[in-house]
Amino acid sequence: MNEDKDVAACGKVTAVRGMNDMLPTDAVLWAHFERVARMVLRAYGYQQIATPIVEQTQLFTQGIGEVTDIVEKEMYSFEDRLNGEQLTLRPEGTAAVVRACIEHNLLYDGPKRLWYLGPMFRHERPQRGRYRQFHQLGVEALGFAGPDMDAEIILMCQRLLDDLGLIGGVRLEINCLGEAPERAAHRQDLIAYLEQHRHLLDAESTRRLYSNPLRVLDTKNPELQAIVIGAPKLIDYLSESSLRHFEGLQALLKANNVPFKINPRLVRGLDYYNLTVFEWITDKLGAQGTVIGGGRYDPLLARMGGKNAPACGWALGVERILALLTEEKLVPEDEGCDIYLVHHDASHAMVLAERLRQTGLDVILHCSVDGAIASFKSQMKKADASRAAYAVIMGADEIAGGTVELKSLRTPDGNAGKRGWQKTVAIADLVDVILDDITSAHD
């Protein structure tokens, strides 16, 4: 009685806004994405790395840059109540991977190709494709200076998008941000230019005028587009070596038939980039159209206290890729498991189920819902609904005779109703009969 009162007083607790559950119905799509992604990552020789979800706040302020949207207003930061440390839920993966590489001296025996997958946290205004907890799959290639590595990581994106069936709906934009002195010269001229138009700037751009004027060029405000178009272009300030790098990348992309567009206004929202930046964009997801973003960040390792080493990488938003797969109707069928075991005697059935699982078959064992044994008819209904390929039926007579009834519920490609045969099989032969049937159905 008291318990009921407590529950009523507390009310229903819901998930935090912008943070989603992955439900069993979504799991098939997630598993499909992960399977394809892992195959692609393997094909390019990348090794997995995982870093903690919580890091020292300083890692991100130092790594991503103080004057970025993420650091200024989107980080979930808090003080550890026990020791006063300033901590942050990671808003992205690159800074943490770089920290781990420095901390464990991972580059001691040469460059590394790494990948990671996990949740990230940004306190953004939630909308379709933009969440406060979302997942990134990312790669970081550390220790490679040439444009061949920029091309490799972009090619990986193409292969992944292609293998997922999504390549037709996305396009690649690239840009070159040059090196710090080139950006400094451009910045000086850009500020002078923007000052001339100061009376026309919006609040956001005025605020960024001196702190991060490059981001003014990235504004979404349509009224500022004329100013943006007339602004000094970074490409005109690039050194010969930056241009050579950029041209090298373009030549490699062309040689590999990767279509791209140069977008001189692409600057990205994180401060660690130099030379190449790129995004894969779709028009099919509304406002949140960037599915993959990345680039080169050669200065970051030294900035984080490590030895100077070049690096580049990208991260994709898993939820955005899954939304695209759903939009394009590329959701795979839930395959169901091999066997649903129907019975009236849990002790015999459980032993058989374990024996079957040991041979590699997947088995759902019927379990009582209300403590009573359900009729065979109602168990068979459950078997059908489970999408299992076979029902194995264990009645009292069968147990006595050492046999079971084996019923085919669907073809191995998931087609229900096409089969429906049933036969008596000796328990000792059950695995062979099922495996033979699966093999012959695939032939």
Give the residues lining the site for ligand HAM (CB under 6 A): 92-94, 122, 124, 129-131, 134, 136, 138, 140, 269-270, 290-295, 297, 313-317, 319-320
Rounded to a whole number of angstroms, the minimum distance from the CB of residue 282 to ligand HAM is: 10
Of the CA atoms within 13 Å of residue 116, those in its CB half-sphere come to: 23
What are the backbone angles phi and psi of residue 239, rounded to the nearest 5°? -75, 170
Rounded to a whole number of angstroms, the minimum distance from the CB of residue 99 to ligand HAM is: 13
SS3 category, 163: helix
Q: Which residue is nearest to ligand HAM (CB)?
A: 317
Which CB atom, from 269 or from 412, has the smaller least distance to ligand HAM?
269
Which CB atom, from 178 or from 317, has the smaller least distance to ligand HAM?
317
- Check the CA dihedral 123-128-134-135 and report its sign: negative
Rounded to a whole number of angstroms, the minimum distance from the CB of residue 94 to ligand HAM is: 4
Kind and range of the H or E element at 112? Answer: strand 112-121
Rounded to a whole number of angstroms, the minimum distance from the CB of residue 318 to ligand HAM is: 8
Are 189 and 232 in contact by the 8 Å Cβ rule? The answer is yes
DSSP 261-311: EE-TT---S-TT-EEEEEEEEESTTTT--EEEEEEE-TTHHHHTTS----E
- The Cα–Cα gap between 43 and 141 comes to 15
Which CB atom, from 58 or from 422, has the smaller least distance to ligand HAM?
58
Which CB atom, from 232 or from 306, has the smaller least distance to ligand HAM?
306
Which CB atom, from 142 or from 216, has the smaller least distance to ligand HAM?
142
Rounded to a whole number of angstroms, the minimum distance from the CB of residue 294 to ligand HAM is: 4
- The Cα–Cα gap between 282 and 417 comes to 40
Measure Cα distances from 238 to 113, 180, 190, 209, 230 in Å: 28, 10, 14, 21, 18
Which CB atom, from 292 or from 404, has the smaller least distance to ligand HAM?
292
- The Cα–Cα gap between 443 and 258 comes to 37
- The Cα–Cα gap between 408 and 339 comes to 9
Rounded to a whole number of angstroms, the minimum distance from the CB of residue 439 to ligand HAM is: 42
Which CB atom, from 46 or from 134, has the smaller least distance to ligand HAM?
134
Rounded to a whole number of angstroms, the minimum distance from the CB of residue 398 to ligand HAM is: 53
